[in-house]
Amino acid sequence: MAKPTMMKILSGIIVFILISLIAYWPSHGKDSTVYWFSIIPPLVAIILAFVLKQIHFSLFVAVLLGGLLVKVPADPLRLENWTGGLGQGFQFILASLCDWTNIQILAFVVLVMTMISVLLFSGGLQGIINWLERYARSKRSAQFITVIMGLVIFIDDYANTMLVGSAMRPITDRYRISRAKLAYLVDSTSAPVAGLAIISTWIGYEVGLFNDVAQTLPLEHSGYSLFFDALHYRYYCFMCLLFVLVNVISGVDFGAMHRLENTGSGVEPVPCSTGTLQIREPDIEIAAVQIQGRARTAIIPLVALFTVLLTGLWFDGGGFDKLYQDPWSLVKLTVWQEVLSNSENNIMVLAISALIGLISAVIMAFTGARLSARIIFQAMTKGITGSLLPITILVLAWSLKNSCDALLTGQFLAEAIGSVLSASLFPVILFFVAGVTSFATGTSWGTMAILIPTAIPLAFILDGSSYGLTTMICLGAVLDGAIFGDHCSPISDTTIMSSIFSGCDHLDHVRTQLPYSLIVAIAALLLGYLPAALGLPCWAGLIAALFLFSFLFYVIKHSRFNIRNRIPL
């Protein structure tokens, strides 16, 4: 364990006390079913991660602390409550391991990492890299290709981080692009793209929540109708993609990202620093095996993976019945929307598609790369071993979410901050609440599940008990605020996986991405949600953001005062 400095320890203690006092003061004397100390577990996890630089230890302590806070406050003098609290913490972990959805996600992680390892040993990914190298002729074009791959793999954020990070790492290393920059490009084109895509593993979850709200209010709109209405107001996601493209095209970085990309003189590029947090990249690299890569060795398994995924989602959502009724339904967007909204087993389909991808990769390794059974077994073993790190972190992150659910952390944050109601300001407040909740809990999906059923009815009331502009903007604000907080949180599963699959030190990724995400969030608030709530057209905010980002990078690039290094973050 890295030795923390006394200054870091004191800073962590001060931050903990201040945030605790801020949380305690508004709730003091109130008769409420939620309590201020519900924020302590995620707060401790975040502070320990920055102070001790040990993500496993930080999450584990936070989970146990959450168990204690569930039991002990009722009667602190009883020893049974303390022992029961520790037992409750381990129950949170056990519940994460026994949850069927979590098991399917873990199976997907293991299968995909094993498939990636086989593709590496067979030279398939190297074949794709060799093909892409024809277009990656500079540092800028290598980053641009990374963004394009992030946009193309839209079906799932987990698949995006795994495939894009693993495939692009050798190319970005060759052009001396820091691992932190690669992790940023991967992270910023994973959840935003999956969240916006009309065909993805996210859409069924979002539409399901919207369907429940539509039935509760009630509204004469389907969940997909609400999703498309909210799509106009997904300012953070759209602006995040705009920011990434402008950043890559301009070739300009600032703050911590610039300092990692360049030396003190700002000339020589250097790789991302290591050792600030004990998260290694998965052990799925190959050293002894040298295979002349063929792109088809990887393309065929990847095509098999996506084909099975789309076919499985179509079958699970009743698409074949619609195809029988209308042969052209397969190419109709509205039919795909309905089919995906009816898919109840999308995670299972994802895991099965990964299994088919792995089997295809093994077959191609035998027939295409002519690898022996021993080498393929070695590749699979390395893939499974490499998956132990991310699945352990994922289990602990889910366990922390269980403790937050038991303590009603999300409800407390919603009550504490969401009590100030205004039709024009509520979308801004809701975006902030969603961001804080997602940052504290490390889960965007959990944040959506907490806030959509509780906040959208409030927006509906502010709309004069009708489905109007405020409600539609608030739908987008919740979804995007959850993704924004997820981007900034060091305990978020997608943030962690972006670090792992890009081979980047985790805290380097968090501190370099944070200022970029904050700028996009501020632009989304000031140029998006607030003007939209006042009646401005949605497209105006996106155009204004594009001009703002272009102007920002132009000023940073041509400034005589070395703004790049002066920005503290």
pLDDT-wise least confident of 350-354, 475-479, 523-527: 350-354
Q: Model confidence over 403-447: pLDDT tens digits? A: 877 887 767 766 665 555 677 788 888 898 888 878 877 778 777
Please provide the average confidence, as pLDDT, over all residues in the chain.
Answer: 78
Domain end among 83, 98, 113: 98
Sign of CA pseudo-dihedral 186, 401, 280, 366: negative
Please give the residue range of the domain that contains residue 197.
101-225+288-394
Rounded-to-integer distance, Cα 45 and Cα 440, Å: 9
pLDDT-wise least confident of 122-131, 388-397, 557-566: 557-566
Both 208 and 296 in one domain: the answer is yes
Q: Is the pLDDT reported for residue 3 higher than 90?
A: no
Both 194 and 296 in one domain: the answer is yes
Give the count of domains, the chain.
2
Both 86 and 157 in one domain: the answer is no
Both 129 and 201 in one domain: the answer is yes
- pTM score of the predicted model: 0.69
Rounded-to-integer distance, Cα 269 and Cα 402, Å: 42
Both 134 and 94 in one domain: the answer is no
Q: Is the pLDDT reported for residue 325 higher than 90?
A: no
Please report which residue ranges of 123-156 form alpha helices under DSSP H.
124-132, 139-152
Both 92 and 15 in one domain: the answer is yes
Both 76 and 182 in one domain: the answer is no
Domain end among 394, 427, 446: 394
* pLDDT for the residue 181: 92
- Helix, strand or coil for residue 190? coil
Both 76 and 120 in one domain: the answer is no
* pLDDT for the residue 481: 92
Q: Model confidence over 245-279: pLDDT tens digits? A: 999 998 888 888 888 877 533 333 444 443 333 34
Rounded-to-integer distance, Cα 189 and Cα 147, Å: 7
Both 172 and 69 in one domain: the answer is no
Domain end among 394, 429, 460: 394
pLDDT class of 32 with cuts at 50, 70, 90: low
User: Residue 164 CB: number of other CB atoms within 10 A?
Assistant: 28
The answer to whether 361 and 112 are in contact (CB under 8 A) is no
Angle at alpha carbon of residue 336, lines to 330 and 340, rounded to 5°: 135
Both 40 and 114 in one domain: the answer is no
Q: Is the pLDDT reported for residue 154 higher than 80?
A: no
Residue at 62 is within a domain:
yes
